[in-house]
Amino acid sequence: MEIEEIHTIPPKKKIALVAHDGRKEDMLDWVAYNRGTLSEHLLFGTGTTGTLISEKTGLPVYKFKSGPLGGDQQLGAKISEGDIDVLIFFWDPLFAQPHDPDVKALLRLAVLYNIPTASNRATADFLISSPLFHTAYQRISPDLPEPLDKSDEVINAR
């Protein structure tokens, strides 16, 4: 995998906010504390987390489905399409999640596409207070090979 592509993350970020049940209160506290800064950006969230953030802070949040119902996969697709700039995901390391493969896939895509990611409040604080958070940023992402299209081989083999 060669690193070739440079993508500009604009000053107005598209931020995904996700929290497991055991971390939702922590996420709500963090969003409330950073409400002023977050109000300058576009917010996205999985079902319950996005709804709670909207209700508790008044911030507009575009909501995907709940994580276990496909929301993590929807967010992963948006990351791969270049439609999410930052992932704040307060996940709970003490309890197994029924949708754990989806969680791992989401985190794998965030790393693969070089998306700034915070998994706890301390990291989220460092990320949001960085001078880079408030400016355009040149994000280097991997030059991924195109998937092989096996359908031509199947059709021609007949």
In residues, how long is the chain? 158
How many CB atoms are located within 10 Å of the residue 80 CB?
A: 14
Residue 142 near residue 3, CB atoms below 8 Å? yes
Helices 24-33 & 47-57 angle (0-180, nearest 10): 40
The single-letter DSSP state of residue 69 is G
CA dist 56 and 99 (Å) reads: 26
Q: Distance between the two ends of the chain, CA-based, in angstroms?
A: 34
**72 included as an active-site residue:** yes
- In this structure, what token pair is assigned to residue 126? 């460092």
Q: What is the dihedral of CA 59, 73, 13, 93, to 10 degrees?
A: 80
Q: Which of 72, 102, 125, 143 is catalytic?
A: 72
Q: Which residues are catalytic?
A: 72
